[in-house]
Structure 1
Amino acid sequence: MPDWYFFSIAALGLLGAQRFLYKVAAERNCSAPLTTAVFMGTVTLLSSLVFFISAEPAGALLPLALLALVNSLSFTLATVANMEALKHLPAAITFPLTRMSLLVVIVFSVVYFGERPGLFQWMGILLGFAVVALLARESGSATLPRGKAATGLLLIGICVVCGATAAISSKFAAISTSKSGFMALSYFLATLFSLMIEKKWIREQTPARTGDAVKIGLFMGLLNFFGFYAFLIALESGPLSIIALITGMHFVIAIALSALIYREKLTSTRLLAIVLTLLAVFFIQL
């Protein structure tokens, strides 16, 4: 088993748990930008500590700054839009639909990096998209928790574009810059972007909900720090198309936890999607 596959699986578990906290934030009606700012700030501090302690070379500063800027802006918008979409659509629909960004990433990987997945890996990719298509069909008939389906789908569209941009910029950063330095600068800029969005956010917040946003953001930051670092290590030597697919299946963990904790309906379709996801991850490592 190659190292990149092991780190991809680690990122899958950690980022899946973090994505479930998006659902927790939405259920408690926390400010998405504030939660995101705390989350980003936590990762910034941890990454900065690692960067200075390890004394890892930063590489060329201009590419580092440009990649961090693109990654931070796209990731911030994707995170805020994801949490807001969960207020309009169920987790079992929102998380899979946002994974349509994988199609953009895979096409880019094949065209730009010349990646050529093997037969079993293509089977895993096809199974991954089968999961997305299977769960996407529910969006037309699902009972919405609150809000409007059209708004939720628009926010998901933003997630798809921004999520693909964040993944592709992460690949370039992993192979050309310091991982901890890139994380520190990217998340620092993302924290600033989140705070800027928060100032423009029109919403009444109670002290309790603000407190929840801070707590949830801290837990998100811890999980994301280890998960994203594992993701970058995997990208350093592994194929972007395959690693993006593995880690992109993290929504299955969020769906399972949402069903367990928030009693969201776990239909036969969603159970089948979970099984297909596990098969996809299995085929990819063959």
Structure 2
Amino acid sequence: MSAAFLGIYDSLKKKALKDNAVIPILFLNTLFSSLIFLPFILLSGMTDMLDGSIFHVASGGWEVHKFIVLKALIVLSSWILGYFGMKHLPLTIVGPINATRPVMVLVGALLFFGERLNVWQWVGVSLAVISFLLLSRSGKKEGIDFKHDHWIYMIVGAAALGAVSGLYDKYLMAPAGQGGVGLDRMMVQSWYNIYQCFMMLVMLLLLWWPKHNQTTPFHWDWAIIGVSVFLSTADFMYFYSLSLPEAMISIVSMVRRGSVIVSFLCGAMFFREKNLRAKAVDLALVLLGMIFLYIGSH
């Protein structure tokens, strides 16, 4: 369900960004997401209405919130790169690149957590690399040079930071006895949205507003609200699954990246993007690589 909602979120984000200013849209997205979770924070802190429910937000001091602030910085950095890249690239290019995040998560686990890949996982990683090379070939047909296009670098950077965020999520959710911090998932999701909102407000006032008359103008699009609603729902389901005792970040990350199927179909149906047959082959290789990673993780 998280993957399905994430695919719709990507498609609405593409629509909202069309001929629109990026920074105010990102600020509004963080604002609406914060407003969605603010009632849960207030009800949890001032009443016992949510006690024992999946919507209860735990409380804590700076020793806890410092981890959430870092989470907000990582995610917001990924979003800034991803929003600018998506605005200038076809959704059918962005989706498959983002789908390589599980590979980056596995490589991160290999480098930082001392994990070792088995044969199945190495095949999965190899297929993902091949699909990326093929995707660059498909992009050239639309005038996109992967080696020299800075929008491509932004999407790759966003995917890499997203992988870092995924590894960090597992660290935050894992119990202290398993080497993690053991944070409450609702506390992480609620407060990192609020911290991001304040960070984006500073960027809006200092970077965008002084020069807003000289850059792409902002116009309202109802898709902006949809972006916040679908992302918040997708993240809620993601954090819930990750908080379960037997959850493996490699598996969760792979299933979540299945969102690329939804965003790819939306790119084909609603945005009328080109060169779909070649891109579909590239996407199939990414998904096949994810299947090999899934088998290897078992």
Smaller-chain TM-score bracket: 0.7 to 0.9
Match of 2:280 among 253, 260, 271: 271
The one-letter code matched in structure 2 to 1:134 is L
Distance 1:221 1:155, change over 3 A: same
Q: State whether residues 25 and 32 of structure 1, in contact with CA within 8 Å, keep that contact through their aligned partners in structure 2.
A: no
Q: State whether residues 96 and 136 of structure 1, in contact with CA within 8 Å, keep that contact through their aligned partners in structure 2.
A: no
d(CA) in 1 for partners of 2:238, 2:283 = 22
Match of 1:258 among 258, 267, 276: 267
Structure 1, 259-268 or 103-112: larger mean CA deviation: 103-112
| 1:136 counterpart residue number | 136
The one-letter code matched in structure 2 to 1:49 is P
d(CA) in 2 for partners of 1:25, 1:209 = 10
Percent sequence identity over aligned pairs: 17
| 2:6 counterpart residue number | 15
d(CA) in 1 for partners of 2:140, 2:78 = 23
The one-letter code matched in structure 2 to 1:40 is T
d(CA) in 2 for partners of 1:34, 1:216 = 14
The one-letter code matched in structure 2 to 1:73 is L
d(CA) in 2 for partners of 1:59, 1:183 = 13
Rg larger for: 2
Residue 183 of structure 1 and its aligned partner are, at CA, apart by 0.9
The one-letter code matched in structure 2 to 1:191 is C
Structure 1, 265-274 or 215-224: larger mean CA deviation: 265-274
| 2:66 counterpart residue number | 66
d(CA) in 1 for partners of 2:192, 2:81 = 18
| 1:238 counterpart residue number | 247
d(CA) in 2 for partners of 1:59, 1:174 = 15
- Give deviations 1:171-226, integer Å, cap 9, x for gaps: 223331111111111001111222222231244499x94321xx322111111111
Q: State the superposition RMSD in angstroms.
A: 3.2
d(CA) in 2 for partners of 1:178, 1:259 = 39
Residue 106 of structure 1 and its aligned partner are, at CA, apart by 1.3
Does 2:232 align with 1:225?
yes
Question: Counterpart of 1:210 in 2: which secondary structure?
Answer: coil
d(CA) in 1 for partners of 2:114, 2:242 = 15
| 1:48 counterpart residue number | 38
Structure with the higher fraction of residues in helix conformation: 1
| 2:97 counterpart residue number | 97
The one-letter code matched in structure 1 to 2:260 is F
| 1:4 counterpart residue number | none
Q: Report 1:87-236 matches (<5 A).
A: 87-113=87-113, 126-143=126-143, 150-175=149-174, 176-199=182-205, 200-201=207-208, 202-204=211-213, 209-212=218-221, 215-236=222-243
Distance 1:228 1:106, change over 3 A: same
Question: Counterpart of 2:273 in 1: which secondary structure?
Answer: coil
| TM-score relative to the length of structure 2 | 0.76
d(CA) in 2 for partners of 1:116, 1:171 = 18
d(CA) in 1 for partners of 2:236, 2:130 = 28
Q: State whether residues 82 and 159 of structure 1, in contact with CA within 8 Å, keep that contact through their aligned partners in structure 2.
A: yes
Residue 78 of structure 1 and its aligned partner are, at CA, apart by 1.7
d(CA) in 2 for partners of 1:163, 1:70 = 13
Q: State whether residues 42 and 218 of structure 1, in contact with CA within 8 Å, keep that contact through their aligned partners in structure 2.
A: yes
Structure 1: 5+ residue runs without aligned partners? 1-9
d(CA) in 1 for partners of 2:129, 2:157 = 19
The one-letter code matched in structure 2 to 1:54 is L
Q: State whether residues 3 and 255 of structure 2, in contact with CA within 8 Å, keep that contact through their aligned partners in structure 1.
A: yes
d(CA) in 1 for partners of 2:154, 2:240 = 30
The one-letter code matched in structure 1 to 2:254 is L
